[in-house]
């Protein structure tokens, strides 16, 4: 493992899980494969009805860095992530959903970047993949830095790529909404004055699942409008302006992500 300057702090990996038996083992394996070893994985099961808990417990027996919290009733990803963050012991937190994957050097490279640049909020590029893991010819790029106004026009930050230094950004809970809570969280952090710094390297794989909440584009557009008007309380003119940027970029992405799959 390459030397990381300054220190090797604990990184807490925040993973909400709900009926994730198809993918959770592969997700955990991608964490176990990390070249940076000082991590804990806090998995919060949101009252799954499949074998998610059973599979996670099996990994717990093999590695005590994996922690499991089981909620008694289904409350959504925001509550699950907030619960995980409340139990997290690390100075740094990284987000990874139960169906997504990291490349082995993800934590090592991102931590080094944040320490060398002395920043509290970073994200990386990621590539999309189909349900079966087949990669697509579509990469979400990472600009050098983005702020609040940038994110209102278009969210370039993939939740699975984010790492935060809690000593720099402070404590903040996610808003309890069923979707877009991660986007609202980035808005809240940047509104506080914390720029999000991009790492121009693909370090994660985002799985597109057909039956996922985020897969319905019309509903996603409605929720985006809800964020502008109800949560960020933008006036009508600004909301329309930002929504036009969102819609235009969304159409471009939809066309791009329909490109035929590639071999890994």
* Domain assignment of residue 182, yes or no: yes
Average pLDDT over residues 235-240: 78
Number of domains observed in the structure of the chain? 1
- CATH number of the domain to which 135 belongs: 3.90.550.10
Residue at 96 is within a domain: yes
pTM of the complete model: 0.87
Quick: pLDDT tens for 105-114.
Answer: 999 999 999 9
Does 218 map to a domain?
no
Q: What is the 3-state secondary structure (H, E, C) of the chain?
A: CCCCCCCCCCEEEEEEECCCCCCHHHHHHHHHCCCCCCEEEEEEECCCCCCHHHHHHHHHHHCCCEEEEECCCCCCHHHHHHHHHHHCCCCEEEECCCCCEECCCHHHHHHHHHHHHCCCEEEEEEEEECCCCCEEEEEECCCCEECHHHHHHCCCCCHHHCEEEHHHHCCCCCCCCCCCHHHHHHHHHHHCCCCEEEEEEEEEEEECCCCCHHHCHHHHHHHHHHHHHHHCCCCHHHHHHHHHHHHHHHHHHHHHHCCCEECC
pLDDT band for position 27 (50/70/90)? Answer: very high
pLDDT band per the 50, 70, 90 thresholds, residue 146 = very high
Q: Which of 21-35, 52-66, 86-100, 250-264 has the lowest mean pLDDT?
A: 250-264
Is 160 in contact with 126 (CB distance < 8 Å)? Answer: yes
pLDDT over 90 percentage in the chain: 70
pLDDT digit string, tens, across residues 221-236: 888 767 777 877 787 8
pLDDT at 253: 60
Given pLDDT bands bounded at 50, 70 and 90, which one contains residue 249? low
| Structure confidence at residue 244 as a pLDDT band (50, 70, 90) | confident
Residue percentage of the chain with pLDDT more than 70:
88
Q: What is the pLDDT of residue 3?
A: 47
Q: Has residue 198 been placed in a domain?
A: yes
Is residue 115 assigned to a domain?
yes
pLDDT digits (tens, 9 = 90+) for 38-71: 999 999 999 999 999 999 999 999 999 999 999 9
- Predicted local distance difference test score (pLDDT) of residue 264: 37
Residue-number span of the structural domain to which 84 is assigned: 11-212
Asked if pLDDT for residue 164 goes beyond 90, the answer is yes
Identify the pLDDT of residue 251.
63
Q: Mean pLDDT score of the chain, rounded to an integer?
A: 88
């Amino acid at each position: 493992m390459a030397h990381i300057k300054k220190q090797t702090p604990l990184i807490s990996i925040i993973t909400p899980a709900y009926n994730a038996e198809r993918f959770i083992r592969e997700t955990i394996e991608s964490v176990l494969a990390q070249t940076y070893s000082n991590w804990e994985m806090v998995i919060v099961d949101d009252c799954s009805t499949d074998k998610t808990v059973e599979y996670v417990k099996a990994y717990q027996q093999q590695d005590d860095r994996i922690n499991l919290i089981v909620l008694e009733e289904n409350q959504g990803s925001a509550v699950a992530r907030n619960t995980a963050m409340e139990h997290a012991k690390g100075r740094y937190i990284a987000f990874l959903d139960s169906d997504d994957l990291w490349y082995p050097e993800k934590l090592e490279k991102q931590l080094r970047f944040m320490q060398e640049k002395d920043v509290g909020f970073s994200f990386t590029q990621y590539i999309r993949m189909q349900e079966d893991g087949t990669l697509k010819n579509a990469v979400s790029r990472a600009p050098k830095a983005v702020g609040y106004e940038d994110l209102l026009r278009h969210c370039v930050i993939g939740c699975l790529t984010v790492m935060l230094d809690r000593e720099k950004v402070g404590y903040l809970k996610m808003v309890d909404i069923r979707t877009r809570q991660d986007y609202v969280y980035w808005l809240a952090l940047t509104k506080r004055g914390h720029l999000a710094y991009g790492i121009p390297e693909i370090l994660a794989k985002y799985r597109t699942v057909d039956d996922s909440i985020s897969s319905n584009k019309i509903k996603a557009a409605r929720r985006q409008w809800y964020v502008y008007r109800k949560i960020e309380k933008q006036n009508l003119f600004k909301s329309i302006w930002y929504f036009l940027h969102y819609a235009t970029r969304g159409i471009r992405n939809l066309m791009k992500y329909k490109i035929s799959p590639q071999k890994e």
